[in-house]
Structure 1
Amino acid sequence: MINISPPLVLDMNFKVMTVRIRNLFLMGILLDFTSDIWMLPVPSRVFMDSLNMRHVLRWTPLKDSCNTTVLYSVQYQGDFERSNNGPWLNPPECQQIPHTHCDLTFDLASNSDYIIQVRAQCRSQLSAWTGLQFNRKDTTLLPPEMKVTMTGDVLQVSINKPLTTTARVMVWRKEDELKPDVRLMSDEQEVLHVQGLQEEVEYCVKAQVVLHTGKSSEFTAPRCVFITGPCAPPWKKPITVAVTVIAMLVLLAGLCWFIVHCRPHSCAAIFIKKQLQLPSSLVWMNPIQVHVITPSEDTVTVSMLGTGSRTGSETSGLQGRSYV
């Protein structure tokens, strides 16, 4: 058994206390040094608002007083940059901005884990960086906007999808929902044409958006359409029926008004045509009179329309001639 003298124990305790005091002193110096560099507090409540593949980084503005507008800057790194000791990426639209949000939808272009940071600046004073880790596959998907129209016996389904998502469309007869026909729409496809549907049958449609990772949104509310077919009679269309009814009512109202307000003599003037008469210039006022003369007569009388008669010497030159 080794016996340690009391002076030796005291000396060891003194050395331990000396080391602890020195460490505390160095820590105080370091804290004082960092407080001189980071004089602003970091932005608080930093979170990613990601909805339908639209990614917006948000944070709470600083409450400390600043003689000028507080500006914020954002930077990020993906798995590729971190694995290759690459630099931090600075989105140009999010450098020294006065508002407290930054849209990174087109910057986060892969399904990798990103480290995203933000800091505040008041003149020459800067805060430390603070941030979070985010993967765009964690976005929240909502049911898409869907529009269903009918052209003959073809259904046209239009869906407004988020970026890099596909759509799953289900079509079924209204009375047979347990046997739907499932169709898929690619990223670029906007309209789906569903053909070969049975006429005189009501079909229903619903849709959801799906990520490549398998994550999906809820389905939209069903939309049902009655298939009339390409050769369906026009009267089956509601607009045609409405126009036809209105036209018949107007025609019936006009006929009733005509029967009530039309008097016999005025109606006769409408339906009985007047007898046509020739113009006065085409009517002979006096008939032409032609006398047959013989060589023994001395005078000739010729009567024409509006000309009177000629006698005596005026017609002596006509002797020896006969007129029929």
Structure 2
Amino acid sequence: MKDSFFLLVFGTDSGGMILTCAVMVVILVSCPDDIWTLPAPSRVFVDSVNMKHILRWRPPRTACNTTVLFSVQYQGEFELLVKNDSWMDAFDCQQIPSAHCDLTFEMGSDSDYDMRVRAQCGSEISDWKKLDSPFNRRNTQLTVPEMTVKTAGDTLQVLMKEFPLSAAVSVTVWKKDEQQKSVYSVTAEQPTLLIEALQEGTVYCVTSQLMLHSGGRSNSTRPHCVLVTGPEAAAWRTPTTVTVTVIVMLGLLFAVFWSVVHCRLGSCKNFFKKEEQPQAIGLDFPVIPMLEPTQYEEFCELKPQVLNSDSV
């Protein structure tokens, strides 16, 4: 039977050659494309969290002598309708060795986006592999925002960590013993919320929730409750005052101690040198010495001499 099949395929005359060519054509047409070309990537999907969209795929299994490179294209509503069903190259994802591509910047609207990727090994290029279905950024997965709550006097400070520019954080504040709640909005440009003039000695609770402008919301954080102490009992005032006072007193004591140790007798006189009194200008009074009591009496008994005008 084996010999008969061989004769049927190859034959011995020109008719057999024609049959052989026909069989080869049938085989080439019916065989999968990936037998003769580079296989395309597989399992293409979008990993989108908090409005950051990463296209991922599985590299093809191939015995490539060089590094397999990948190129990514995308097509949105604008490319589909305005640019006649054209595809745009992802700027940072052309012939890259990694199996992922950040398309956050390219998805600038809430329309549906289609994406595709192909592999290249040397001069061999695979077919494009598309997403199973278009992706819309409104379907991004939103995580619970990270929040820090502090108090300073009668002010409540709520600090939100980094979150997308296209989203906002809804902050809810209420007194622990009351049901009335106040809702505030925090943007990425101003991630800190200050609530002033709160009631002293009251416990306030805070929760937050990430919210998209298109309406998507994340789960809420657990309530974070803090005690508002009041402006006169701010926690930083007492330790700060004590610290400054101690530093000043230590500085003064050190200055006095240094002066006592390093100021010698001769050198200290230079700091306390007594200035001589200046003499009266233009006057020359005789200096009268101090007299003893007996000399004073003798001095008083002396009669003054009167000079005549003739003796002058």
TM interval, shorter chain, is 0.5 to 0.7
Q: Is the 8 A contact 1:168 1:208 kept in 2?
A: yes
Matched, 1:56 2:54: yes
The code of the aligned residue for 1:165 comes to A
Shift of 1:278: 10
TM-score (norm 2): 0.64
TM-score (norm 1): 0.62
The code of the aligned residue for 1:49 comes to D
**Distance in 2 (alpha carbons) for counterparts of 1:206 and 1:55:** 27
How many residue pairs were aligned?
254
Matched, 1:99 2:59: no
Shift of 1:35: 4.4
Q: Is the 8 A contact 1:145 1:161 kept in 2?
A: no
**Distance in 2 (alpha carbons) for counterparts of 1:82 and 1:243:** 65
Instruction: Quote the RMSD (CA, aligned, Å).
Output: 4.3
Matched, 1:208 2:209: yes
Q: Is the 8 A contact 2:165 2:187 kept in 1?
A: no
Return the match for 2:165 from 145, 163, 167. 163
Task: Work out the percentage of aligned pairs sharing the same amino acid.
Answer: 41
Q: Is the 8 A contact 2:152 2:235 kept in 1?
A: no
Structure 1 portions without partners, runs of 5+:
1-22, 255-276, 297-317
Q: Is the 8 A contact 2:39 2:61 kept in 1?
A: no
- Counterpart of 1:140 in structure 2 is 141
Which SS does the other structure have where 1:141 is aligned?
Answer: coil
- Counterpart of 2:259 in structure 1 is none
- Counterpart of 2:185 in structure 1 is 184
- Counterpart of 2:218 in structure 1 is 217
Which SS does the other structure have where 1:241 is aligned?
Answer: helix
- Counterpart of 1:69 in structure 2 is 67
Q: Which has the larger radius of gyration?
A: 1
Q: Which moved more, 1:240-249 or 1:210-219?
A: 240-249
- Counterpart of 2:239 in structure 1 is 242
The within-5 A match list for 1:1-324 is 28-32=27-31, 34-35=33-34, 39-82=37-80, 85-132=84-131, 133=133, 134-150=135-151, 153-159=154-160, 160-176=162-178, 178-185=179-186, 190-195=191-196, 197-229=198-230, 232-233=231-232, 236-246=233-243, 286-287=289-290, 292-294=304-306
Distance 1:83 1:243, change over 3 A: closer
The code of the aligned residue for 1:47 comes to F
Shift of 1:57: 0.9
Shift of 1:54: 0.2
**Distance in 1 (alpha carbons) for counterparts of 2:45 and 2:156:** 42
Shift of 1:106: 1.3
